Structure 1
Amino acid sequence: MKWKMGNTNREWLGFFKVGQEMTYGSVDWKEGWYIDCQKEGDIKPAIGVPLFPTAEQELENDIQGFKDIIETYIKRVSALAQDIMEAMALSLNLPRDFFFKKYTYDPFTQMAMLHYPSFHKDKNISNPDDSSKIEKFGTGPHTDQGFLTILHQDNVGGLQVQLKDKPGHYIDAPPIPGTFICNLGDMLDKSTNGYYLSNVHRVKYNMTGRDRYSFAFFFDPNLDSVPELIPSEFVKQGEKPERWDKQNIHEGFSGTYGDYFMAKIGRIFPDYVYKSTGKLT
């Protein structure tokens, strides 16, 4: 809790406890830490809490090298994400640096280090034959907000992806050693007018008897960039099918990516209310 959300000037970064994060109004049964490489201006003078534990705190808590490991990982996965965006551009018959020049020259990045405790003794959960029980999720059904999410998960599993042609039907996305899972986000969906869809996914309520850990890296447009329809013969104008959450990211949203991000984060963390200034109250 020394590094809880709201303690630095990038107030969406930091620790959140079980029950604090919500997805579309339902509690997510996980805890975690949103983190990025340290930048100048992160520290609020009135609070004085750095983004990472100090070298002394690393030693005290037996996590020597923590900051270096996390920042190195973020830099390397950022490079991977840039490569993927180049491949996406080429797949649309665009110059390979199209997304870099327009959106990811200074990308908005963050990593979620997530812990899903096991609730294997919980009997009050839903099943198909008992409507009196409560439906619970590690993370509820949602789409990610930006361009790409590059996910590393442990071998416990729990991630599920909704089938494109069967709303409400999910399949497991089991961990495969030596691989990442890549989710596409809302801004790629918006920029391609649905040619590349942001995929709906969720995480099952953990009842395995083992703790689950996953590391989701979000690679998104610059906060000041304005997502627009890209010039490609693959991107067609026209009406899109209704989204699973009834929102319209194509005509229903305009403005900077930062505007979209702030609005979505405000719904995920109801304990923190974003104002038009981008500050938390």
Structure 2
Amino acid sequence: MTTSKENLPIIDLSLRNSTEGKVQISKEIQKACKEHGFFYISGHGIDQQLIDQLFSLSKRFFSLPLETKLKWRMGLTNREYLGFFKMGQEVTYGAVDYKEGVYIDTHKPTDLKENFNQSLFPTAEEEIEFNIVGFQNIIETYISKLKELGQIIVEAISISLQLPSNFFYEKYTNNPFLMLGLLHYPSFHDIVNNELEPDETLKKEKFGVGPHTDQGILTILYQDDVGGLQVKSRNENEFIDAPFIPGTFICNIGDMLDKMTGGYYLSNIHRVKYNLTGRPRFSIPFFYDLNLDCVPELIPCDFANLGEKPERWDKQKFHEFKGTYAEYFLKKINKMYPDYIYKENGQL
């Protein structure tokens, strides 16, 4: 295992084809999940050309006029949490996030909401009209590839917890909840005032995304080289940079894995800085999470033999949550998008 200059581990997944390699990867993942909740992966096997195509399409989509992007806004399909959200619409712990984005998954026949009759993806004609040809195909191909990668990483996490490699698949991820994000963080370097910054808020610290944890078990992120992602340091009361490293994804574990390991594996706080670089920032997070109908429980693992349990810095009490993963997800998303109304026991 090597480390970046910011001390986040870089784990080579290409070693997984041998028994010795799997053991090495599991040890490195265990250490990373305990100390940071974050790690880079190399040797992942995802074609760089596919990643570049998706980034190119993402940039072209966000360059479209706002009224065009709103054609695919959240709330128009039966999976209301999927779709486009505009600048200022997503909030983290009550504070505006300075980004716009799209959350999306592969098309499902049940997506169509009769009163809107709006598909999740642009039509083939719209792809041509708006210069985003291949939008659906490339996104769905990417999701398929990242689903396979997510399963590989979760198997390694299982082994790192001294469990059978198929433990999570058999109980929690045989029908995983998947979601892809396309995110755009405009640069505000030459803007003093704008409509999102009334006078009384100018002195408040602003973020592309405020400090938070992810809700599920695994996030796999590809980001550009503009920078901005920061992770809470374990040993200091500070955040450390998690920069772009060519050929890698950066992964982090979420609240449900933290809950299922009794806090032994850390769902760590992270944030994205307010973009003042003079360049737009783009990133693509992929969420590989539990079956929506499963009830996360403490896993059968002898944590006493795994070392000291790390302390939660943010003192969140999500370990006390009882219910399905769908219910937890809805609680989180209700707070992120106050412009939308999601039923507590709604269908996802």
Normalised TM-score (structure 1):
0.92
Q: Which residue of 1 aligns with 2:334?
A: 266
Q: 2:241 aligns with which of 168, 172, 181?
A: 172
**Contact 1:190 1:249 (8 Å CA) reproduced:** yes
Distance 1:91 1:242, change over 3 A: closer
Q: Which amino acid aligns with 2:97?
A: D
Q: 2:186 aligns with which of 117, 123, 129?
A: 117
Shift of 1:66: 0.9
**Contact 2:99 2:208 (8 Å CA) reproduced:** yes
Please identify which structure carries the higher helix content: 2
Which runs of 5 or more structure 1 residues have no equivalent in the other structure?
125-130
The reply to whether residue 142 of structure 1 matches residue 197 of structure 2 is: no
**Contact 1:36 1:74 (8 Å CA) reproduced:** yes
Q: Which amino acid aligns with 2:344?
A: S
Q: Distance in 1 between matches of 2:345 and 2:303?
A: 37
Q: Distance in 1 between matches of 2:310 and 2:220?
A: 26
**What SS does the aligned partner of 1:139 have?**
strand
CA RMSD of aligned residues (A): 2.0
Which runs of 5 or more structure 2 residues have no equivalent in the other structure?
1-69, 194-200
**Contact 1:29 1:139 (8 Å CA) reproduced:** yes
Q: Distance in 2 between matches of 1:278 and 1:246?
A: 28
Q: Distance in 1 between matches of 2:341 and 2:132?
A: 33
The reply to whether residue 99 of structure 1 matches residue 168 of structure 2 is: yes
Shift of 1:123: 4.4
Q: Distance in 2 between matches of 1:60 and 1:97?
A: 45
For 1:38-57, list aligned pairs within 5 A.
Answer: 38-57=107-126
- The total of aligned residue pairs comes to 271
Shift of 1:242: 6.2
The reply to whether residue 278 of structure 1 matches residue 329 of structure 2 is: no
Shift of 1:160: 0.3
Q: Which amino acid aligns with 2:234?
A: K
Shift of 1:241: 6.9
Q: Distance in 1 between matches of 2:86 and 2:99?
A: 7
Q: Which residue of 2 aligns with 1:60?
A: 129
Shift of 1:122: 3.5
**What SS does the aligned partner of 1:216 have?**
strand
Q: Distance in 2 between matches of 1:272 and 1:223?
A: 20
**What SS does the aligned partner of 1:104 have?**
coil
Q: Which amino acid aligns with 1:199?
A: N
Normalised TM-score (structure 2):
0.74
